[in-house]
Amino acid sequence: MTASSKTIADPARSPVLGVGISAINLASATDLVFQALEERRKGYVCVTGVHGVIEAQDSAEFRNLLNNSFLTTPDGMPMVWLGKWNGFAHMGRVYGPDLMLEVCERSAHTGHSHYFYGGAEGVAADLRARLEERFPGLRVLGASTPPFRPLTTEERNGLREEIARLRPDCFWVGLSTPKQEKFIAEFLPELDTTLMFGVGAAFDFHSGRVRQAPRWIQRSGFEWLFRVFTDPKRLWKRYFVNNTRFVWCIGRQLILDGGKTRARNRRISNGAKPPASDG
Q: Could you write out the DSSP letters of every residue in 146-184? A: --SSPPPHHHHHHHHHHHHHH--SEEEEES-TTHHHHHH
- What are residue 192's phi and psi, to 5 degrees? -85, 70
Kind and range of the H or E run holding 14: strand 13-16
Does this model's pTM top 0.85? My answer is no
Contacts of 270 (CB under 8 A, 6+ apart): none
Phi first, then psi, for residue 256 (nearest 5°) are -70, -35
232 CB-near residues (< 8 Å, 6+ apart): none
pLDDT band at residue 256 under the 50/70/90 scheme: confident
Residue 233: band (very low, low, confident or very high) from pLDDT cuts 50, 70, 90: low
pLDDT of residue 56: 95
pLDDT for res 275:
37
pLDDT in tens, 35-91: 999 999 999 999 999 999 999 999 999 999 999 999 999 998 999 999 999 999 999
What's the CA gap between 181 and 198, in Å, rounded? 6
Q: Bridge partners of 20?
A: 15
Average pLDDT over residues 131-150: 94
Instruction: Provide the pLDDT for residue 262.
Output: 60
